[in-house]
Structure 1
Amino acid sequence: MRIVLVGAGLAAQRCAETLRQLGHDGPIAMYGDELPYDRPPLSKDFLKGERPELRFKPDAWYRDNDVDFVQQRVTSLDHLEFDRALIATGAEPITLDAFPHALTLRTRQDAIALDEALTSTRHLAIIGAGLIGQEVASAATARGIRTTLVDLNPRPFDALMGPGGGDRLRALHERHGVELRLGQNSGPLNADTILVAVGVKPAWRPDPAPGVFHAGDVTGSAHWEAAVVGGQNAARRMLGLQPKPEQPPLVWSDQYGVRIQRVGDPRGATHNGDLTYSQSGRLKAVVLMNEPHRVREARRDLKEAA
């Protein structure tokens, strides 16, 4: 059985690994701009002037596991021969016409460009107070750069912390000197550098077809762990196996030296006042701040409450 992986990100990498681990010995071809690498350090380590190794596997892994990497962007399945295909083409940053010269942050080259721009930046304006915007604000203030965070949503921090729980994260940004312009049109920014971080849109995705699977950001699930599980389960389905049981999702962020980890999904739930969330009396999500040792416990509690 010939398998092609269209896209070379985290989901495709985990799919390839899982296929080989489960004993698939047929051809695997992976198509992408560059071999898979980890993206979370781009908004963390790179903006501290560090250049960690991002690649998931060295070149030898692809050779030893007979995974043929083809450096090519694919926008059609018409000319590919396959029995099963994974579409894991990821996502692209949303840009804004009002800021044609603004930077975005998605790739390694984007991170290098932003890091270089910050070396001479006195005032950074970030349009969008999602995870990327928040983490860049944390990195920029650590470099002594005046930072303004702009978002039309009056409570953008609730997206990570849960409904009603964002006040603690907002206070963290304010304590570190970030100027917040939330819930209103910002007016003139007068910034040296502008970063647009208002989200992403799925990259090319073909219509559903027999033998074609999807995983990662292209599905609209823009979180690291979702790409891991999606890639692994796509491999299992290709081989006619049942996917692994779903775990309570985990999302994390590093800001101002604080590791924030949210286990579960707080959407539609009620804030209990202690960074836990319940719906109809059942625990739905737990947010941890500098408590990584409690992740397993939180997952167990959520599974028991399901």
Structure 2
Amino acid sequence: MAEPQRIVIVGSGLAGATAAGALRDRGFGGRITVLGTELHRPYELPALSKDVLLGKAAEPAWVHETSFYSDNEIDLQLGVSALELRPGDHALVDSNGAVRTYDRLLLATGSRPRVLPGAQGHVLRTLDDSHALRSALREDRHVLVIGAGWIGCEVAAAARGHGCRVTVVDPLAEPLVRVLGPEVGAMFRRLHESHGVEFRLGTGVARFSPSGVVLGNGDELLADVVVLAVGAAPRLELAETAGLDLAAGGVAVDATLRTSAPDVFAAGDIAAHDHPRYGHRVRVEHWANAKDQGTHVAGSLLGLDEPYQKSPYFFTDQYDLGMEYRGLAGPDDELVVRGELESRQFIAFWLRDGRLRAAMNVNVWDHGTALQALVDAQATVTPTQLREADLGSLA
């Protein structure tokens, strides 16, 4: 496979910007064009629901310094979107009407917030979203958060940090239950309740009103600020109209992040990756996945045939609780806890058929390397070993 001379990256988020930098790090001397719909240069998302929303920082972490792109001859086109991908012609049409030809192309279009029919309120996906929501979080306000996932819980914590009254609505029985299961989800609920958050669980939103929402059980909740935190939808329109294979809610890519179209790759939120570690497609909408896949796909764009094998990783900070999660488990996997949930200082493990699928350390910071090794190996371990044995020796 000949080395490309022209690489186009669609998406100026973390995956796309990281891939551009990694291409230069690998010595690629050809042309790199990055198209991004936002007017801000590429930045990382975690701070938007944490330090920026809390008012501890005015800006997120930028992927690169402003001068990086010009210094490295990366053509960063902000405020420009891709309208049409023509894989057979190796061409892309952008919102300025330009037809851009490429030797290799990376789709890193990310996700957009999901919305509910008739919804009125804030979403949180961009830096501008975070600034707008931060301006609305004032001490005299009642904030209604629709959705008790990661973004919903982090927004609730930030709103309480600003002195707002907070109510969280979710049709499921506990926060985060789809990821962490009912026991750990209940621990997060009690954490928020101890900080004054009210939950309305087991019922969804029937309709929105000018002053709040009406729930499925008929109750009306009045609010000054409504936040929609009901998940994100991958931006697949470009891939779909181009005829690329889709699977598992995303763009189907092989182990190296190559799509079904010649010379087209995908990374980040949209990539439904044929993961060699798990034996099935995995699509992850987290910071580390975007960053790590962006770094890896640079090699694939240059002709390397190495599989991407990293385990999913994400983290959260809510009040005085910090957490890291590694691996990929389901809520029905066997939960093993080292320590006490109520202490909010413990390690949780998830087992399936005697093999470790995931681990989560909560306010425990000494075992990250061992936990990563155990999860990557999908180690065969017993609950007793996980509760009592030295984790470094198990790894």
Classify the TM-score, shorter chain: over 0.9
Partner residue, 2:314: 251
Q: 1:60 to 1:244 in 2, by over 3 A?
A: farther
| Match for residue 38 of structure 1 among 33, 44, 48 | 44
- Please say if residues 136 and 225 of structure 2, whose CA atoms lie closer than 8 Å, have aligned partners that are also in contact: yes
Within 5 Å, which residues of 2 pair with 1:206-245?
A: 206=239, 207-208=243-244, 209-219=261-271, 220-243=283-306, 245=308
- Please say if residues 161 and 169 of structure 1, whose CA atoms lie closer than 8 Å, have aligned partners that are also in contact: no
User: What one-letter code is carried by the residue in structure 1 that aligns with 2:68?
Assistant: W
Partner residue, 1:146: 165
Within 5 Å, which residues of 2 pair with 1:79-158?
A: 79-99=99-119, 101-119=120-138, 121-158=140-177
Please state whether the residue corresponding to 1:155 is helix, strand or coil: coil
**Quick one: percent identity of the two aligned structures?**
36
- Please say if residues 293 and 308 of structure 2, whose CA atoms lie closer than 8 Å, have aligned partners that are also in contact: no
Q: CA deviation at 1:244?
A: 5.5
Q: Which moved more, 1:162-171 or 1:62-71?
A: 162-171
In structure 2, list runs of 5 or more residues that go unmatched.
86-91, 93-98, 205-214, 245-260, 272-282, 339-347, 380-395
Instruction: Count residues in correspondence.
Output: 305
Q: What whole-Å deviation, never above 9, does each CA across 1:228-271 have from its counterpart, x for those lacking one? A: 12212221111111335523221111101211111111215211
Q: Determine which structure has the larger strand proportion and give its number.
A: 2
Q: 1:93 to 1:305 in 2, by over 3 A?
A: closer
Within 5 Å, which residues of 2 pair with 1:136-215?
A: 136-162=155-181, 164-185=183-204, 186=215, 187-203=219-235, 204-206=237-239, 207-208=243-244, 209-215=261-267
Within 5 Å, which residues of 2 pair with 1:53-92?
A: 53-71=60-78, 72-77=80-85, 78=92, 79-92=99-112
- Please say if residues 179 and 329 of structure 2, whose CA atoms lie closer than 8 Å, have aligned partners that are also in contact: no
Q: Distance in 2 between matches of 1:148 and 1:170?
A: 12
Q: CA deviation at 1:120?
A: 6.2
Q: CA deviation at 1:53?
A: 4.6
Please state whether the residue corresponding to 1:195 is helix, strand or coil: strand
TM-score by length of 1: 0.94
Cα RMSD of the aligned pairs, angstroms, is 1.8
Larger radius of gyration: 2
User: What one-letter code is carried by the residue in structure 1 that aligns with 2:262?
Assistant: P
User: What one-letter code is carried by the residue in structure 2 that aligns with 1:23?
Assistant: G
User: What one-letter code is carried by the residue in structure 1 that aligns with 2:45?
Assistant: R
Q: What whole-Å deviation, never above 9, does each CA across 1:17-73 have from its counterpart, x for those lacking one? A: 211111211100000123210111111112222313532111211112111111211
Q: Distance in 2 between matches of 1:133 and 1:121?
A: 20
Q: Which moved more, 1:192-201 or 1:292-301?
A: 292-301
- Please say if residues 45 and 60 of structure 2, whose CA atoms lie closer than 8 Å, have aligned partners that are also in contact: no
Q: 1:202 to 1:279 in 2, by over 3 A?
A: same
- Please say if residues 38 and 56 of structure 1, whose CA atoms lie closer than 8 Å, have aligned partners that are also in contact: yes
Partner residue, 1:287: 360
Q: Distance in 2 between matches of 1:279 and 1:48?
A: 38
Q: Which has the higher contact order (CA 8 A, sep 6+)?
A: 1
| Match for residue 349 of structure 2 among 276, 280, 293 | 276
Q: What whole-Å deviation, never above 9, does each CA across 1:282-303 have from its counterpart, x for those lacking one? A: 1111111112332211011223
In structure 1, list runs of 5 or more residues that go unmatched.
none
